[in-house]
A = this chain, B = another copy of it.
Amino acid sequence: MSNFQEVAEAFVKFYYETFDSNRQNLAPLYAKGSMLTFESQQFSGSASITEKLVALPFQKVAHRISTIDAQPSSPQNATILVLVTGQLLVDEEQNPQMFSQTFHLVPENGSYWVFNDIFRLNYA
C-alpha cells in the first residue's frame, strides 16, 4: 500500500467522522485558499465553506464510504487527489443517497488541508 493511499484513507475517515459528529469542527481542515463546490454551489475559504456545511438542512447525517481511491497529484509536491464514493443517510430517512466527492489535499506542518472539494449526489 502506497503512503498516499494510507494518507487518503486516514483523512477520509477523519473527515466523515467529524462531519457526522460536529460539522463545525471541519473548519481547520480548510484554509483561506480552499474551494468547495457543493451541488454546483461554489464557496471559498474555510469560514464560508464551514458556514455552508453547518447550514445544511439536516440534524443527523451518516456517511457510509464505499470506495476511496488516491493518486499523487503533482510531480513536485506531496499533494494528493482522492475520489470517494459512498452513501449518505440524513435524519430519519431509510433510503441512502449515493454521493461522489473529490478532495485535493495539500501537506503542511505534518498534516493535510483541503485545497479542492467537489461534492455531488448521484441520481439514478
- Using CB atoms and an 8 Å cutoff, list the residues of chain A in contact with chain B: 33, 35, 37, 40, 66-67, 69, 71-75, 81, 83, 85, 98, 100, 102, 104, 115-116, 118, 120, 122-124
A100 to B71, CA, bound (A): 16
Q: Is the interface of A mostly helix, strand, loop or mixed?
A: strand
Q: In the bound complex, do residue A124 and residue B98 qualify as a contact, i.e. CB atoms below 8 Å apart?
A: yes
Q: Bound state CA distance, A35 and B72, in angstroms? A: 9
CA A48 – CA B123 in complex, angstroms?
A: 32
CB of A123 to closest CB in B, whole Å = 7
For residue A123, which residues in chain B have a CB less than 8 angstroms away from its CB?
66
Chain B nearest CB, measured from A89 CB (Å): 13
